[in-house]
Amino acid sequence: MVTNRRLHAEPESTDTGALRLAGVAAETAAPDHSLTRWQRWTVLGIVSSALLLIALDNTILYTALPVLSSDLGASSSQQLWIINGYPLTMAGLLLGSGALGDRFGHKRVFQIGLLIFGAASLTAAFAPNPEALILARLLKGVGAAAMMPATLALIRISFAAERERNIAIAIWAATATVGMAAGPVVSGVLLEWFWWGSVFLVNVPIVIMASILIIAIGPRNLTNPARRWDAVSSAQALVGMAASVLAMKTWAEAPLNLLLAVVSTLIGALAITVFVRRQLRLMRSDTEPLVDFAVFRNRGFSGGVVAAGASIFAIMGLQLVITQRYQLVEGFTPLQAGLLVTALAVASMPFALFGGAVLHRVGLLVLIAGGIGTAAVGSGITIIAALQDSLPLLISGLVVAGTGLGASMSVASSAIMGNVPPHRAGMAASLEEVSYEFGGLVAVATMGSLLTFVYSRALVLPAGQHEWISHAPAVALSSDDARIVSAAAAAFDSAYLAVLVATCVVVVLGAAGCAWLLARYTPGTPSQAFPDNH
């Protein structure tokens, strides 16, 4: 692992301009020692409330989508973009937004992101048609992309002491988990009393309050004019991610749109390849890239990235399929389905706080690899619950998975932020957020596609029924024909089981990968190469 002493010794062989850039960047990333204890924790509350809104919006439409789609007359394709447009835009812009925070100051970028997010929420709440709602969701993604790296950077600036910062990051990570798990519940509660626009409108008062408090209490805004924002790289990342997700969805659809599948695959591969080549070229020319691939040589950093992606994949995969199955097949209300998956969040919160508190003693290997391994056990229990059609066993599996994910997610962020030097902090925060967002996108795209793929092929329709019913499980399961309902329920249960198995496999592979990367981070060993520089 790289030590602070080595960090100070290396610049003798570095270009003077690069030294000056790194020096200014380090200054903008330095902790603000002028903040009192209550100010630090109030800042944590502000950025956590913003993060809660961002996380809620990832899953809040899971239960609102049926009502929303019916009122607006949204097609299947429009529903896909209503759900995925927000996280897709956010993931594509995150890498560039970290550089914007370094250049203009994380506090200022956070404020701007809040305003964009609030305005987009207001627009979405009163959208007159699906097209307007999709545009509003895309705009919300822009605001969220500006805010997310800034939330972590503001924690880094506000908390100078390593142990206190670890606990703060653990609370931050737990908030994200709770937000994603609470999305279906919040949506269900609001839909019991209000129209579908309320799921967006609820963001506005929190945005206003957070905007006022961050101005009054937040740390000083330090800028680095020498830090450049690479719009070309940001566009390449956005196109690459969007095309890749579209390709995953298209390949799994039935009937297959071969032209769209091939074109989106080629565009995604080309955009990602061009992006990587551009970053490598910028590194060779001593220009600051959006992604410095050298940071992945640190196994603590790489392990944190893998853990973040695997953890969010598990959460999104489980929530997506469980909320749909229990509404469509078992007849749960949106609120009941949302309450069911909160078992993940309820179990994760205490273990997230525990992980942050004991990281300096237990180390990354036990908390990350052990946590994801525990989540794999929980995923296995949900498979058994599906085979036995046991609701109590399903809840038990979610609780076990939640305990492991809480521990792993809380320290994954610390592993990422604590294993890069100060002048790479903005980039590290962006990569951390991309790991979570892209992991969630891949989970929704692949598991949603797998659900559709297995369902459409497992469904055996009674003679004389229209084939289009096989592509609309909600229609088939609400049919007046008992034969269609029975066939659709059986097919959906087969698809449900397939998604649970696939999710479990991914989590097992994630645990194995983290165990390999973090093999040296045993109890008692340092978990962060730069614990005092963030």
The total domain count for the chain is: 2
Whether residue 346 sits in one domain with residue 235: no
What confidence score (pLDDT) does residue 27 get? 43
Whether residue 172 sits in one domain with residue 39: yes
- Whose tokens are 């390999």? That residue is 516
pTM for this structure?
Answer: 0.76
CA 322, 328, 333, 334 dihedral sign is positive
Rounded Cα distance, 15 and 62, in Å = 51
Side-chain half-sphere exposure of 107, counting CA atoms within 13 A = 19
- Longest CA span, the chain: 79
Asked if residue 6 is part of any domain, the answer here is: no
Whether residue 247 sits in one domain with residue 334: no
Domain ends where: 272, 289, 306?
Answer: 289
* DSSP single-letter state for residue 225: T
Q: Residue 383 maps to which CATH number? A: 1.20.1250.20
What confidence score (pLDDT) does residue 271 get? 92
Which residues 6+ apart lie within 8 Å of 219 measured at CB?
A: 32, 34, 35, 43, 107, 154, 157, 158
DSSP letters, 115-131, are HHHHHHHHHHHT-SSHH
Whether residue 208 sits in one domain with residue 130: yes
Tokens of 330: 């078992």
Whether residue 132 sits in one domain with residue 274: no
**Residues 126, 131, 134: CA angle, nearest 5 degrees:** 75
| 73, burial (CB in 10 Å: exposed 0-12, middle 13-18, buried 19+) | exposed
Asked if residue 20 is part of any domain, the answer here is: no
Whether residue 187 sits in one domain with residue 47: yes
**329 within 8 A of 489, measured Cβ to Cβ:** yes
What confidence score (pLDDT) does residue 469 get? 54
Cβ atoms < 10 Å from Cβ of 444 = 26
| 377, burial (CB in 10 Å: exposed 0-12, middle 13-18, buried 19+) | middle
Rounded Cα distance, 440 and 312, in Å = 6
Asked if residue 505 is part of any domain, the answer here is: yes
Whether residue 269 sits in one domain with residue 328: no
Residue type, 320: L
| 348, burial (CB in 10 Å: exposed 0-12, middle 13-18, buried 19+) | buried
What confidence score (pLDDT) does residue 274 get? 93
What confidence score (pLDDT) does residue 476 get? 67
DSSP letters, 472-508, are -HHHHHT-S-HHHHHHHHHHHHHHHHHHHHHHHHHHH
Total residue length of the chain = 534
Rounded Cα distance, 516 and 534, in Å = 27
Q: How far apart are the first and last CA of the chain?
A: 17
Asked if residue 21 is part of any domain, the answer here is: no
**84 within 8 A of 58, measured Cβ to Cβ:** no
Asked if residue 373 is part of any domain, the answer here is: yes
Whether residue 366 sits in one domain with residue 270: no
Whether residue 199 sits in one domain with residue 276: no
**376 within 8 A of 507, measured Cβ to Cβ:** yes
CA distances from 485 to 20, 36, 293, 482 (A): 68, 62, 52, 5
Residue-by-residue pLDDT tens, the chain, 534 positions: 333 333 333 333 333 333 333 333 444 455 555 667 777 888 888 888 888 888 888 777 767 777 777 778 777 667 777 877 887 788 778 777 777 777 788 788 888 999 999 999 999 889 888 889 889 999 998 998 888 878 877 887 777 777 777 788 778 877 877 777 777 778 778 877 888 888 888 889 989 988 888 888 777 777 766 667 777 888 888 888 778 877 877 776 666 778 888 998 999 999 999 999 998 888 787 677 777 788 888 888 899 999 988 988 888 888 888 988 888 888 887 778 878 888 887 888 788 777 777 777 888 888 899 999 999 999 999 999 999 989 999 999 999 999 998 888 878 878 887 777 766 766 777 787 778 777 877 887 788 878 888 888 887 766 655 555 555 666 666 666 677 778 888 888 898 999 999 999 999 999 999 999 998 888 877 776 665 544
What confidence score (pLDDT) does residue 400 get? 94
Asked if residue 256 is part of any domain, the answer here is: yes
Cβ atoms < 10 Å from Cβ of 223 = 17
Asked if residue 166 is part of any domain, the answer here is: yes
State the residue range of the domain holding 285.
231-289
What confidence score (pLDDT) does residue 391 get? 93
Whether residue 105 sits in one domain with residue 191: yes
Whether residue 168 sits in one domain with residue 148: yes
Whether residue 358 sits in one domain with residue 279: no
Asked if residue 312 is part of any domain, the answer here is: yes
Rounded Cα distance, 392 and 414, in Å = 34
Rounded Cα distance, 108 and 195, in Å = 34
Nearest to 506 by CA among 297, 313, 328, 229: 313
What confidence score (pLDDT) does residue 87 get? 78
Domain ends where: 289, 322, 357?
Answer: 289
Phi, psi of 14 (to 5 degrees): -100, 150
